[in-house]
Amino acid sequence: MSAPAFALLLVILSFGAFVQAVSGFGFALVAVPLASIVVAPSRAVVIISLASLLTSVRNTLAARGHIERPVAGRMIAYNWFDCDKQPQPRAVNVFAGCVVPPAAGER
Per residue, the 3-state secondary structure of the chain, as one string, reads CCHHHHHHHHHHHHHHHHHHHHHCCCHHHHHHHHHHHHCCHHHHHHHHHHHHHHHHHHHHHHHHHHCCHHHHHHHHHHHHHCCCCCCCCHHHHHHHCCCCCCCCCCC
Tell me the whole-structure pTM to 2 decimals.
Answer: 0.64
Confidence check: pLDDT of 106 > 60: no
Q: What is the pLDDT of residues 55-70, one digit of tens each?
A: 889 988 999 999 898 8
